[in-house]
Amino acid sequence: MIQNQINNSEQLIVPEIEVVSATKKPFIEANTKAVKLVHLKKDCTIPVFSKDNECTIAHQEFIDIAQECASNIFSGHSISLPEVRVSHVVKGRIPSAIGKPVKELLEHEKTIYYERMMFAIEIPTISENVYGQSLKLTIGGVRAYNQENLYSKKSIEKFKFFIGFKNMVCCNLCVSSDGYVEELKVSSVLDLKNKIMELIGNYSMQTHLNAMRELPNHSLTEKQFAQFLGRCRLYNYLSKEEKAAIPLLSLTDGQLNMVARDYYQDESFCKDQKGNINMWKLFNLLTGANKSSYIDSFLGRNVNAFEIVQSLGNSIKNKERHWFLN
């Protein structure tokens, strides 16, 4: 269990819960904006299932549940305030404002909620160092109403949740498949809480850290990096049968352009003087480019970035053929 791993950590443990502000650097960009939790609670309406008018589990409830789970599992550690990013605002108006021109609407006559929301909560007192960079344990989740059928009766609701680390140099999230649930299906707030507790409890922090510490030990030459990018370009044009036999790649062409640019220009993760780039740097170039993803696809691509670089590193270590390199 993760609690046992934390208790054995050599990191400083704060004796009492301390609430601290999250870093200002965003973990996702795309078309998102930062909002405070109080804004979701006071200013936003709650979507319902239209056939029976039953409430959905609101964004703020999801965040509150995650905070409660973090406080229960990481008791004695500092817990940051949630960093919340939203996108795709859905606008409305109160009944008395029907027919009123938009420019004449008063603030109290407008209603809004956000179709997509992502949040991250740091546990700053659980930190590790990889390749000279500080990583802090982080939990968070995604809610995307566009993946629900709000025109039907109340049904099972879907969430995404993760636990992993945040690289404090760039605020890139480091998430593995073991710390991520792509489709967490629940029917109630209690069900959501239980499943979050289960995921956090099953997360192997040390295994994830060991895998990340292994990444700097293997590198691509400039020629191999160019080969990797070239193969990434070809990937989307393969047949389904060919794709099934090789590792999944979910980054877009635009994001791969950013990886190519940052191979030369990124201050923290660019190539060395010989043109070589290790797997840790490549991983951070991929997760950095992934910040341009929409909220609902962000976490899946983040996990995929880790799986890709880990498979590349293993192929180099074991001297095995890898489709993206050969």
Q: Give average pLDDT by consecutive 10-residue segment, the chain, 326 residues.
A: 43 37 76 96 94 95 98 95 97 91 92 97 97 97 95 95 97 97 96 97 96 98 98 96 95 97 97 98 98 96 98 96 94
* Shared domain check, 204 and 227: no
In a domain, 103, yes or no: yes
User: Within this chain, do residues 203 and 222 fall inside the same structural domain, yes or no?
Assistant: no
DSSP-derived 3-state class of residue 304: helix
267 and 158 within one domain: no
Question: 236 and 197 in one domain?
Answer: no
| 87 lies in the same domain as 234 | no
The answer to whether residues 62 and 165 belong to one domain is: yes
CA separation, residue 318 to residues 41, 45, 217, 229, 313 (Å): 52, 54, 13, 21, 9
Rounded to whole angstroms, how far apart are CA atoms 291 and 268?
Answer: 16
* Same-domain pairing of 256 and 277: yes
pLDDT given for residue 326 in this prediction:
85
Closest CA to 148 of 158, 138, 134: 158
In a shared domain, residues 203 and 247:
no
First-residue to last-residue Cα distance in the chain: 40
Taking each helix axis as running N to C, give the angle between helix 59-73 and helix 189-202, from 0 to 180 degrees, rounded to the nearest 10. Answer: 40
170 and 249 fall within a common domain: no
Q: Is the pTM of this model over 0.85?
A: yes
Final residue belonging to a domain, choices 181, 208, 235:
208
Q: Return the closest-CA partner of residue 171 out of 132, 126, 133.
A: 133
Among residues 184, 208, 232, the one where a domain terminates is 208
Instruction: Decide: 303 and 177 in contact? Cβ < 8 Å.
Output: yes
Q: Does residue 121 sit in the same domain as residue 264?
A: no
Co-location of 141 and 202 in the same domain: yes
Does residue 213 form part of some domain?
no
Residue finishing a domain among 208, 236, 260: 208
| 298: in domain | yes
Domain hosting 157: range is: 2-208
Total structural domains within the chain: 2
C-alpha 14/C-alpha 79 separation (Å) is 10
Pairwise CA distance, residues 200 & 179, whole Å: 7
Same domain? For 37 and 131 the reply is yes
Dihedral, CA of residue 233, residue 238, residue 244 and residue 249, to nearest 10? 20
Short-list 202, 272, 168, 157, CA closest to 5: 202
